[in-house]
Amino acid sequence: MEGAALTAARDLLMERGFAACSMAAVAARAGVGKGTIYLRWPDKEALISAAVAEHVGTVDPPDTGSLHDDLVAVYAGEVDRLRGPLGAILRAVVSELPNHPRLAEAYRVTVLEPWQASLQPVILRGVERGELRPDIDLGIFVEALFGPLVSRVLISGIPLADDLGEAAVDLVLRGAGPCR
């Protein structure tokens, strides 16, 4: 039942958007009673966050021996995923976050924080190898690095180029100052 409900929620999000993704619509699509949905999730925000979290998942970062190469590989994987259904799912949900504080909190806890935490091994290896400062703020680093990806998927609609990861990683790791 849980898997069917999460799939139904994701499908409805992609087809009709957040507003049309009611508990009743999810229950009907999943082939279960509305009460069954409410037994597992207290409200629409919790259901949608769970559906997105299951689809987003976490990163299984490589260990190439280079922070740059690890981050480019992670970025390439995210670009590939966001070109598919995940991009549509995130567009449907993220646009609603400012209007739904419970959804925003659930999204932060079930999607953003686990995804960000899964990048921590890459960053810690970079610190251990001397490729990053030891006082690096993980949250700001990840936001700076993946900001172009988020902007293109959620705001500008600019297509995700294959070399976006390389460009973003180079910019963040080298900074925007002149080469020396």
User: Do 153 and 110 belong to one domain?
Assistant: yes
* Domain of 131, in residue numbers: 53-174
Residues 103 and 166 in one domain: yes
Q: Does 131 lie in the same domain as 57?
A: yes
Tokens 């890459």 correspond to 122
Say what the alpha-carbon torsion angle 144, 81, 5, 1 is, to the nearest 10 degrees: -120
> Is residue 135 in a domain?
yes
The answer to whether residues 108 and 23 belong to one domain is no
**Confidence class for position 154, pLDDT limits 50, 70, 90:** confident
Do residues 106 and 162 both lie within one domain?
yes
Task: Confirm whether 180 is domain-assigned.
Answer: no
Q: What is the CATH number of the domain that holds 118?
A: 1.10.357.10
pLDDT-derived band at 81, boundaries 50, 70, 90 = confident
On whether both 67 and 139 belong to a single domain, the answer is yes
Q: What is the pLDDT of residues 1-57, one digit of tens each?
A: 889 999 999 999 999 999 889 999 999 999 999 999 999 999 998 999 888 888 777
- For the chain, the domain total comes to 2
Residue 17 and residue 73 in one domain: no
- Domain identity same for 24 and 62: no
